[in-house]
Amino acid sequence: MSQSGPRVDGPLRVLVVDADDRIRESLTGLLSISGQCMVVASAGQVGEALELAIAHRPDVVIVDPRLPEVDGGIAFISRLRAQLPGVRILAMSWSDSLESAALASGADGFVRKTFRPTELTAAIVAAGQGIKPAA
């Protein structure tokens, strides 16, 4: 359900993909407070995340490019881009070292996990509108 312009019919639908369940739970709570985003699902593994993305058709997927599986987060970004080309993908990591790889594999933006809540929401909204988020 990706849009080519700003979403006007409600909050952005977000899928959170991170191996750390504390991060997933924190993001889900944080994003629900803003009113601009609604987490429709979350996953800790690539296979589950791809299934949920196909089932829920989120506007934005937040993914940690350091997912620990063999095909990991960078490969997941590429697979997600191939299977759901209209979805916006926001890579999020503690380290800047994967920013280039995440963007090269199809992510629309990159956010450091040291974000302020308003910065994360702004990055998700920008990604949902097709604007490169400012990290």
Phi, psi of 40 (to 5 degrees): -90, -20
pLDDT at 4 over 50: no
| Domain assignment of residue 68, yes or no | yes
| Domain assignment of residue 1, yes or no | no
| Domain assignment of residue 45, yes or no | yes
| Domain assignment of residue 43, yes or no | yes
| Domain assignment of residue 69, yes or no | yes
The interaxial angle of helices 72-83 and 46-56, nearest 10 deg, is 20
Q: Is 100 left (phi over 0), alpha (psi -120 to 50) or beta?
A: alpha
Give yes or no for a contact between 43 and 17, defined as CB atoms under 8 angstroms apart: yes
Give yes or no for a contact between 11 and 132, defined as CB atoms under 8 angstroms apart: no
Strand 37-43 and strand 88-93: the pairing is unpaired
User: Model confidence over 78-101: pLDDT tens digits?
Assistant: 999 999 999 999 999 887 888 889
Phi, psi of 24 (to 5 degrees): -60, -45
Q: Residue 13 — pLDDT band, cuts 50, 70, 90?
A: very high
| Domain assignment of residue 71, yes or no | yes
Q: What is the pTM of this model?
A: 0.86
Domain total in the chain: 1
| Domain assignment of residue 110, yes or no | yes
**What is the predicted pLDDT for the residue at 10?**
82
| Domain assignment of residue 6, yes or no | no
**Which whole-number Å values give the CA distances from 35 to 7, 29, 118, 128, in the listed order?**
13, 11, 12, 14
Q: Which of 37, 114, 28, 99 is nearest to 65 (CA)?
A: 99
CATH number at 37 reads 3.40.50.2300
Range of the structural domain that residue 39 is part of = 12-128
